[in-house]
Amino acid sequence: MNIRFYNARILTMEEGKDIFLGELWTQDEKILYVGPAKEAGEQTFDREIDCNGNLLMPGFKNAHTHSGMTGLRSLADDLPLSEWLNKQIFPVEAKMTGEDIYHLTKLANLEYLTSGITAIFDMYLTPETIADACVDSGMRCVQVGAVNNFSQSVPLVEEMYEKLNHKHPLLSYELGFHAEYTCSKKLLLDLAALAKEKKAPVYTHNSETASEVAGCRERYGMSPTQFLDSIGMFDYGGGGYHCVYFDPQDMEIFRARHMSVVTNPGSNTKLASGIAPLTEFVKRGINVAIGTDGPASNNCLDMFREMFLATGLAKLKEENAAAMDAMEVLKMATVGGSIAMRLPDTDVLRAGKLADIILIDLHQPNMQPLNNIQKNLVYSGSKSNVKMTMIAGNILYYNGEFVKEDAEKVYAKANEIIARLKA
């Protein structure tokens, strides 16, 4: 489908380019034109949308999530991480089927659309049913392996790496494991060997809590980052989720290996895990992206809340109101996520890039006056401002309505599943 958006403010997120008035054309899954208003000439459109002065910008990238955990939302709260995970989450997850995770992922996808999220970096239990849910929902999904001592395996990750990187244009797959503390040394060595064979990056939960780092130092005499790098896990880069307790040597490894930090401020706040040193990461030139984490630990899949917490907590940690500029955080939520997820065609609005676009409603009190739209997005924006979410040239959410899914059926199925799991 060819669509023309006109009478729009446009934020391309290209370096040094400010918001301008103009229009954007899409042709199938790609952007055809971004710029000042002009005559269409011989170009024809299936649909023309008057943006009424609202803002077009790249969609947000949720660079760390566990979508299938929507069924566990508000089921196990107000507990420390170890107790929450081992006594509440793992026992329920053990009962989940692939079909359950398919439907629970579709519920998460609806929430992503309302938050202007156009791509997710998902780590969960049944990769093939997650892939099917995302294709059926129209969601762009990069999955990452979740190898640990209890589920998945290195051969399964290799199988999914070969299969899901060629299954559908909306799908890709990266090597990964749950965390150092949930994997034996042999398992980690086997995955590092696979990464070397494939010349592929590796992603994992990393230094989320102080006790996690202390445990790794007891086992190996090094931090998780230093130990994993010592066995060749990051020879081809990758990234870490959370990265709250990093020392200068950890940061240097990430910088030298061109790795990405994915911060999860909402989850880290709710679980009292700590505040990541985002200001220092940025100073060192490390790419930073933002993730919501899963809907059991956050519990909200809301990029606006994550952006506010990312800047607010950085200021609090540094005791400096200038520590983290809103524009830097907006970059993390868009361009930074594209880099971390290896989706280079989703970073900015430019002809030839993928048409993963959101329309932000500026005609609401929280976005007025228009002193600085970018700062409004981070400091006062909310999901209520998302007027449209488009992925691969398909409008999936518009004016509060889901275009592709019957939301009530998705909700009913999710409640049916969780009732069975809790029985």
pLDDT of residue 355: 99
pLDDT, tens digit, 9 for 90 and up, residues 374-410: 999 999 999 999 999 999 999 999 999 999 999 999 9
Is pLDDT of 84 > 80?
no
118, 131, 150, 107: which is closest to 294 by C-alpha? 107
- Token output for 72: 């566990």
Average pLDDT taken over every residue of the chain: 97
Is pLDDT of 74 > 80?
yes
Name 56's bridge partners.
10, 359
pLDDT, tens digit, 9 for 90 and up, residues 101-150: 999 999 999 999 999 999 999 999 999 999 999 999 999 999 999 999 99
State percent of the chain over pLDDT 90.
Answer: 93
Distance CA 203, CA 176 (A): 5
Q: Is residue 363 classed exposed, middle or buried when 0-12, 13-18 and 19+ CB atoms within 10 A define those classes? A: exposed
Say how many CA atoms lie within 13 Å of 294 toward its Cβ: 25
**Domains of the chain with bracketed CATH:** 2-58+353-402 (2.30.40.10), 60-342 (3.20.20.140)
SS3 content of the chain, % helix, strand, coil (to 5): 40, 20, 35
